[in-house]
Structure 1
Amino acid sequence: MDSTVAAPRPQLAVIVRIFAAMALATMSALVKLAGEAGVHLSEIVFWRQAITLPIVFVWTLVVADIASLKPVRFSAHLVRALYGITGMALIYSAVTLLPLAEATTLNFTAPIFAVILAMLLLKEKIGKYRWSAVGIGFAGILIVTQPGSADVDPFGVAIGLAGAFMVALVSIQIQDLNRTETAQGIVFWFCLLTLPLTACFLPFFATAHDTTGWFLLLGVGLTGAAGQLLLTASLRFGSAATVIVMDYTALIWATGFGWLFWNDLPGPTLWLGAPLIITAGTIIVMRERYLRLRRASAGT
């Protein structure tokens, strides 16, 4: 029996996914705090991966076995690593440049970009429902980012949207990897392959840190690893369509952290635009679930 398969438990899946969103929102807050403490982006990314790698290895030994890490398509892991580390650097940069709630909201645009990429790369036919969702989502982006306004850093917005685009690109790459690779193998090789790359930047940007700096880096690594493992665990107990909407609870945590650490509460434009972006993502997820079920039914 495949050790990655578990009996469906949708309520547990939703709870686990909420904790995953909390862990990743906490990681984003720690990334922002680390940047303000003088830790360079390259160091943050390096330690995020370095701490995650042994945790994923131990987790693999618990839930499966070491053989499940053997890659079938090593070149595909290389491509995923390049896409993933680029996306990670962009997302972390956006977190340091923008208020936490705004940066988190821009991450929610990834499903919108995924629809466009599916059409361009996979030649998938996009119907009226998903195109409507894309339109709703971009309307939300315009409201949140306020083009031409001095209230939001346009460079930070561009970086955040680029990061979301890379997340969408990575999701398509992972979808392809899932055909031949295990979930733990995908995470393990991503960490292992990107460690040497990020280590190359350390001689140029690494600096001495006080205890607070090291604790922040440790926190980034631990919460990032926890978020990654919880995301994977949620999909063992429930379908993506069931749990992915819970990712939007990260905005609640991001807003709370923004108020707690920076006395920063989002303005009205975020509360007007974020629901549109979240609605767009939800429509896309629900529509893709419907199409997948219809294809499965037609094949029986």
Structure 2
Amino acid sequence: MTAAPDHPHHRPILALVLRLCAALVLSTLVMLVKYTAETGVRFGEILFWRASLTVPMIGLWLLAHGQLSRLRTKRMSAHLRRAILGIVGMIMTFGAPLLLPLAESTTLSFTTPIFAVILSVILLSETVGPWRWGAVIAGFLGILVIVQPGQSHMPATGIAVGLGAAFMVALISIQLRDLGRTDEPIAIVFWFSAWSTLVFAVGLPFFVTDHSLEQWLLLIAIGALGCFAQLLLTASLRFGQVASVIVMDYSSLVWATIYGWLIWDRLPPATTWLGAPLVIGAGALIAWREHRLGQREPRAVQPVSSQ
């Protein structure tokens, strides 16, 4: 699945292709969550299936290859803390598209690098120069253009959840970098899914309902795509640098727009088209500066997905 964390193979073209595929898979996953919820499946059950199918998929794959030992960890408490934040992040990440159109919720998710810069100052006491502070300001100006405070076409709750999801991804990235020093990416994904499944299973009796064949197929697809997306993301980071591959994440806005048009017959308003370039440009500038600084010293914050 992925190479061991201490022996990365630098293959930049492959990394970009994997990240581009991950953006498509994640966009499809978010679309399916929104569509499935609109068919009548409750959100709590969708989250359960999103998390639970990853456990047997990874477990059976490792068992078939005699590699279950890759799941061993001496830091289960750290995995639990990562799971707690990850569950909150997952709820917000999939909750935002239920409250907002796909393109707008996707654009809000692009603020993750902006929050990562802020958190690096607050939590890691990192020195941030004018380039990245300028990107942070430009990114938030883009958000203001999109949400149009006081006259927005989007509900305030949806905006808050969307920005909260991006913040949680940035926060979780700090934990993942720490875990990545000792545990393999596949183990991190597995234990997050295992803990999440236990938490969501507790509430499952309050959410579960009878489903049609179509709804069951949608739930299975959500679980399978969620696992596949995580593996694509971690693989892209094994073959390429974060600052290089993260630019591919912005292609998800294209897929979100296409899905929104094809399924919900909705295209983003002019404010989104005006604000999105500012947000995307800010993230790209931060990624470029991360790359430049990473050539001098190891980076402390790496944006990842909590989906």
Q: TM-score range by the shorter chain?
A: over 0.9
Residue pair 2:5, 2:183 contacting (<8 A) in 1 also:
no
Letter in structure 2 aligned against 1:169: L
Match of residue 113 from structure 1: 115
Q: For the residues of structure 1 that align with 2:244 and 2:117, how far apart are their CA atoms? A: 19
- TM-score normalised according to structure 2 size: 0.92
Per-residue CA deviation, residues 245-276 of structure 1 (Å, 9 max, x unaligned), is 10110011010000010001011111111111
2:262 is matched with 260
Aligned to 2:305: none
- What's 2:40 paired with? 38
Query: Shift in Å at residue 64 of structure 1?
Result: 8.5
Number of matched pairs: 296
Identity of aligned residues (%): 50
- Partner residue, 1:132: 134
Query: Given the superposition, is the C-alpha separation of residues 116 and 3 from structure 1 closer, same or farther in structure 2, using an over 3 Å criterion?
Result: closer
1:126, CA displacement in angstroms?
A: 1.4
Matches within 5 A, 1:187-266: 187-266=189-268
Structure 2 gap ranges (5+): 299-307
Of residues 240-249 and 20-29 in structure 1, the stretch that sits farther from structure 2 once superposed is 240-249
What is the aligned partner in structure 2 of residue 65 from structure 1? 67
Give 1:97 shift.
0.8
Match of 1:97 in 2: 99
* Unaligned 5+ runs, structure 1: none
Q: Is the 8 A contact 1:28 1:95 kept in 2?
A: yes
- Where does residue 179 of structure 1 map in the other structure? 181
Question: 1 CA distance for matches of 2:163 and 2:191?
Answer: 26
Displacement of 1:280: 0.9
Deviation for aligned residue 1:234: 1.3
Higher deviation after alignment, 72-81 or 247-256: 72-81
**Deviates most, 174-183 or 49-58:** 49-58
Residues 5-84 of structure 1: pairs in structure 2 closer than 5 A: 5-60=7-62, 65-84=67-86
After TM superposition, give the deviation of residue 241 of structure 1 in Å.
1.7
Query: For residues 56-76 of structure 1, what are the alpha-carbon distances to aligned partners after superposition, in whole Å with 9 as ceiling and x for unaligned?
Result: 224445788222211121111
The amino acid across from 1:272 in the alignment is L
Q: What TM-score does the superposition give when structure 1 sets the normalisation length?
A: 0.94
Q: Partners of 2:139 and 2:255 in 1: how far apart? A: 21
Q: Could you list the per-position Cα deviations for residues 90-119 of structure 1 after superposition, in whole angstroms to 9, with x for gaps in the alignment? A: 111111110001011111111111111111
Q: Is the 1:4–1:63 contact (alpha carbons within 8 Å) kept by the matching residues of 2?
A: no
RMSD: 1.7
Q: Work out whether residues 140 and 275 of structure 1, in 8 Å CA contact, stay in contact via their aligned partners in 2.
A: yes
Q: What SS does structure 1 have at the residue aligned with 2:297?
A: helix
Deviates more, 1:143-152 or 1:23-32: 143-152
| Amino acid paired to 1:190 | F
Task: Give how far 1:7 is off.
Answer: 3.2
**SS of the counterpart of 2:127?**
coil
Equivalent residue letter for 2:285: I
Give how far 1:2 is off.
4.5
